[in-house]
Structures are given as structure tokens and as C-alpha cells.
Structure 1
Amino acid sequence: MRRADMAAGLNSCIFFFLALIFLQCFCGSRAREIADRHGMQMQQTKDSNNYIQNQLNGMLGKHEKDLAVNVFFNEEDLKLGNKIPIYFPIKGPSAKPPLLSREQADSIPFSSSKLPYLLQLFSFSKDSPQANAMADTLSHCEFKPGKGEIKFCATSLESMLDSALNVFGSKTPFKVLTTNHLKDQTTSILQNYTIQDEPKVISSSKMVACHTMSYPYAVYYCHSQESDTKLFKVLLLGENGNKVDAMAICHMDTSDWDPNHVAFCVLKSVPGRSSPVCHFFPADHLVWVASTSAL
């Protein structure tokens, strides 16, 4: 088989694998439907409006905000048998934004300069929580990357795959990892999770983390940083019997971090080389690594 054919086959496999993950996450969502009405327009149900108002861009109530910070921990906490309080958000089908194809996503402007048009397109008033959420997401996606950082916002499966390919290069095979709930859980609760196995370090020469953003359709903020990080796979058992195969990352050097970052408040620490910040990934966030990485 020629090298070009092998590369094409690899990309097809990666695309199919990631597509399955997204279908699992997003299929069945009736929160919003993309339809043509004088161009692309969003039809929304009551559930989707509640989701945007209450959750988009961190616009949570005080109780939810207090719970959401329970993803941070110290590296020394990663020990077999140790208990860590964690809040894994669980989103029902009606709370998940739809994933668009590249053709659909490219037909909709994605720029702060087009925000008035976008608000009209999605029928949001300019002073609404939804408008603030969209403005924050667009602004975040337009920030210039930091020193040694590669960043991009993906509005479709195809654009995410293409951008990840640019990071890893055509000669480096790569794969995607996620946090998986091994037992169905329908509600989000804060509870203690016990580490069931020795945490496994995943070594990769390059890594791209993709986080869900607040927007009417699925948008991922992805970034790759040339910094000292450790990626872990951790098997957890909750007090309610929920088993989670979780992905976690530790940022070993936080010298350049904002001292007001919520992680330092939670961990009672300050930025520095001796102050790592670790956190778990929610189930709908993705981590790309070289496929030669040991699990």
C-alpha cells in the first residue's frame, strides 16, 4: 500500500471514530434544529432557551458555579484509594447544542463584527444572557495565542480534524480521548469519587485539548501549549456507584497564569513552578494525543 493511501486510510479511521463520539454526544438532541428560512436560522424550543440562559458561557446560578469549581485537585491527590470530591456535569439530550457540518457552519459568520446579524439570525435580543454568551465566546476565539501556544475554535467536525492534523503533522498518527461514564447517570451531582486503579500517565509529544464553548451550536475552543503538562487516565467510583473513566491533566508550571484564576482560590495556592494545577475533563471535552501514546 502506498504511503498516501495509508495516510488517507488513517484519516478516514480517525474521522469515523470521532464522528461516532460526536454522534453519541449529540444525536437525539431536539433542543435546536438548524433549518432554512431565508438562509440558515435557528428554531428553538423552551428547553434550549433555558439551557442557553442558565448555562451558556458560565452563566450559571451561584449554586451551579459553586459546584462547577469541583474539578480542580493537586497532583499528590492522584493515589490509589484516595477520595476526591468532583462535579461532573451531566447534560441531557435537550441541553446539547447541535453539531453542524462544515458546509452549514461555513454558511454562518463567526466573528464579533457580525454579532448584530447573528443575534437577529438566532432571535436573541442584544441585552439577553444568550447575546452576552455569544459575545464572550466570539471574543475568546479571537484572542491572540499566548507564547508557544497554538489555538483555534472549531465549528464543525471537519474543521477540528483539519486543525488537529496541522498541529500533529501529516506523518504523526493521532487519536482522541474523552472522559467516559461507564454507568448511565442522568443528574449532575457533587460527590466523592474513589480512585480504583493506579492512575496511568499518558505520554505524548504533542497534545491538543478541546473545550466546549457557549454558543447556539457546537463550538470547541482547542489549544496546544508548549509547556510542562501531565495527562492522566483515572478510573473513578462515585458514592452512588457511578463509574467514570476520566481524563485529567496537570499544568506543572503556572508562573504565567493570572493570580486571580479560580483554580488558585480552590487549591489555596499561587502561580509558580511549584504550584501545579490539575483538573478533570468533563465528558464532552476532548483531548487529542499521538496515537503511539501508551494507555
Structure 2
Amino acid sequence: MAKHAAAVLVLFSLVSVWPVTLAGDSAALWSSVLPNVILPDALRQSISPVEDSPIATRFANAVSRGALFPEVSASFCDAACLVCDNNVQVSSYGIENVEEAPRSLSIKTINDFQFDFFLEENLVAGGEMQLSENLHDPIPNRPFLPHVVAQSLPPLAAANLPKLRQTFNIADMTTMATMMGTAAYLCENPALPGEAKDCPISLAAMGQFVLSQLGSEVESLYTTGAPNKAPTEKSPVKIEAVTKRSLAEGEHIIICHTIMFPSALYYCHHVTGTKVVEASLRAQDNSIINAVGICHLDTSLWASEHPAFTALRIHRGAEACHWITQNDVVWVSTSTQ
């Protein structure tokens, strides 16, 4: 017990003297991979507060040696501003009884997380549409892991979940354990035919995937102006203005969806046959949501029970569109514009 307490004391003493505003390795690695690409705010704010610090190095060493104690994991989670909460609730997962559902049985692909479906033909200035949460992301904000810690972890797969739960001090058969299981299920499954996918657990890993798929001439698109909390009263938003981007651009884009994990984690997939749309949406409180949406021109590979088909009253294969929430990111090639 004294050994555990000493380890915690070392971690906290390092936190107390180390600045928490360092960009460190992640930003440097991003610049080395995509030097001319400006980070979107959501990703810039996700750089770990203990990046490039002794606490990150010591924790990574503990992970590599298998010398983790609950007190050490808990103190690292606190210092790194992670969400290591056994009972965290996220509305988009629909988990009610973790004993009966080791993962949310309705989640089979990343598309099952999408909501607020619409038809492109209905996206016209002056119209209205109903949004479930005004594009608020129900997944809580949390930083990426420091690069050195991310490198010390095993791949995100079902076989590695016991060690990953130990790393973040997460008990088995809890809602967070279920969400980590869902993340592993999504990330270790093969990509859909014609797609490439990756689940970056660090900023550098996302940059490397974007570079490998789209090259270095890229820009990010993302939704802004969404509320910090979901509105308590649901009311339609008014469509103020619409921009429909080119079909050529939509032939190759990367969509990065945030998924629940103690640290920031994204499911990024390189898709084809899409169109990017943007719209200014005026909410009931008169605020403006600058929304980014994706129209999938061919949904024939989607599961027949996908909720978009029922919501839009369309057949499998027909075009379907959805908005992305405030923390998701779309990467497009600027060479096609």
C-alpha cells in the first residue's frame, strides 16, 4: 500500500509543477505530417494537458511494464482530464442494462450512431427541419492521450479490453466498460467494401491517416454554433442559407466521428460517393448553427434495418444525408476544389 501511495505522490507532484498548456509531441508530430493544415478548434482543444511531460512518460512506462495500480491510473486520469467514470451516460448509446448487453446491440456500424437524417432535396433556404439535439454532441469533451501513452497501449480490440480497462481504472460490467467494448467492436471490424478506416487515439495518428488517404493538401470542415447542452424543448430550426459542395470533392473524403472512450477517440473512414453540404440553421433562441452534413449517394451497403430508411421513408440504396455533430471532423482534399 505504501508503494501505491508513493507512486500517486510522484504523479501529483509532477502535475503541480508542470504547465498544462504545452502542445508538445502531438502538435509537433502533426506539424511534421501536415505542416500546412490548420487544426480545427475541436482538435486543438483536444491536445493533452500533460503532453510531453514527465507524468506522461512515467505513466507510459508503467503501462509498458504492466505495473499499474488503481490509484496510479485514477491520478493519471485526473491529471490528463480524461473521463474515467464507470457510470458515464451518453444518450446516443442507448444502454439500459449492461448486465444483459455487453455492448449496445443496435450498434453494428459507425452509421448506426448517426441521426438527424434528411433528404438533400429538402435542404432549401427558408425551410425548416427538426434536429434531435441541435447538433450538440452527447459524448463529453476529453483530450487525446499524450503521444507517448498512446504508443504504449495495445491495439483497441476485444482481446485487449481487460488491459485497457485496467489502464483507465474502469470496472467490468459498467456503462463505460460497455462503451469501450462498443469502440473495440467498431474499430477492429473490417472497413466496408471500398472504404479505408482507422481509429486514431492520438492527434498524430489522425494526421497520419489523413495524409495516407488524401495527401497533404487537405482542409477540415466541422459544425460550429451547436449548444453546449442539448435543448430541453425540441423545436424546428430555420434554414437560412445552403451551400452544396462539388461531387468531385465528395468522391474522396474522410469523416472522423468521435466515439466514447476515456480519452478522445475517433472513428475515421475514407468514403467515396458522397456530397458535402453546409447550412446556416437558426435555432429557436436565435442562435446560428453552422452545420456540415454528408449526403451518401448510394446506401446499398447499409444494413436494411438502418434507421435512415424508416426516418426518410426511402428504400435501401437511395441517397440519404445526415449532419455531423460539433466534435466530428470532415477532411476534404483541396486539390479537387
TM-score range, shorter chain: 0.7 to 0.9
Q: Secondary structure at the match of 1:80?
A: coil
Alignment match, 1:240: 285
Residue 291 of structure 1 deviates from its aligned partner by 1.9
Alignment match, 1:231: 276
CA distance in 2, matches of 1:160, 1:216: 17
Select which of 286, 296, 313 maps to 1:251: 296
Alignment match, 1:139: 185
Alignment match, 1:78: 123
Q: Secondary structure at the match of 1:116?
A: helix
Alignment match, 1:164: 210
C-alpha RMSD of matched pairs (Å): 3.3
After superposition, what is the alpha-carbon deviation per residue over 1:104-145, rounded to whole angstroms, capped at 9, x for unaligned? 211222332211122222222221111111011012101111
Q: Secondary structure at the match of 1:22?
A: helix
Select which of 238, 258, 266 maps to 1:194: 238
CA distance in 2, matches of 1:51, 1:200: 42
Could you tell me whether the CA contact under 8 Å between 2:33 and 2:211 is conserved in 1? no
Alignment match, 2:171: 125
Unaligned runs of 5+ in 2: 1-30, 50-54, 64-72, 97-105, 107-112
1:28-177 correspondence runs (5 A): 36=58, 39=62, 41-43=73-75, 48=83, 53-55=88-90, 58-59=93-94, 71-86=116-131, 87-90=133-136, 95-110=140-155, 111-169=157-215, 173-177=217-221
1:74–1:139: structure 2 CA closer, same or farther, 3 Å change rule? same
Q: Secondary structure at the match of 1:198?
A: strand
Residue 287 of structure 1 deviates from its aligned partner by 0.3
Q: Secondary structure at the match of 1:99?
A: coil
Q: Secondary structure at the match of 1:211?
A: strand
Aligned: 1:210 with 2:294: no
Select which of 277, 291, 295 maps to 2:334: 291
TM-score between the two structures when normalised by the length of structure 2: 0.70
CA distance in 2, matches of 1:242, 1:138: 37
Letter of the structure 1 residue corresponding to residue 172 of structure 2: K
After superposition, what is the alpha-carbon deviation per residue over 1:89-115, rounded to whole angstroms, capped at 9, x for unaligned? 5369x9312212322211222332211
CA distance in 2, matches of 1:19, 1:245: 14
Could you tell me whether the CA contact under 8 Å between 1:51 and 1:95 is conserved in 2? no
CA distance in 2, matches of 1:52, 1:177: 32
1:26–1:292: structure 2 CA closer, same or farther, 3 Å change rule? same
Alignment match, 2:35: 12
Alignment match, 2:3: none
1:57–1:107: structure 2 CA closer, same or farther, 3 Å change rule? farther
Could you tell me whether the CA contact under 8 Å between 1:246 and 1:281 is conserved in 2? yes
TM-score between the two structures when normalised by the length of structure 1: 0.79
Residue 53 of structure 1 deviates from its aligned partner by 2.4
Residue 180 of structure 1 deviates from its aligned partner by 0.9
CA distance in 1, matches of 2:91, 2:167: 18
Alignment match, 1:4: none
The percent identity for this pair of structures is 26
CA distance in 1, matches of 2:149, 2:32: 25
CA distance in 2, matches of 1:56, 1:113: 26
Unaligned runs of 5+ in 1: 1-7, 29-33
Could you tell me whether the CA contact under 8 Å between 1:70 and 1:85 is conserved in 2? no
CA distance in 1, matches of 2:224, 2:40: 16
Letter of the structure 2 residue corresponding to residue 58 of structure 1: Y
CA distance in 1, matches of 2:258, 2:87: 13
Select which of 199, 222, 237 maps to 2:268: 222
Residue 201 of structure 1 deviates from its aligned partner by 2.0
Residue 169 of structure 1 deviates from its aligned partner by 3.0
After superposition, what is the alpha-carbon deviation per residue over 1:239-266, rounded to whole angstroms, capped at 9, x for unaligned? 1112011101111211221111111222
Paired residue total: 269
Q: Secondary structure at the match of 1:161?
A: helix
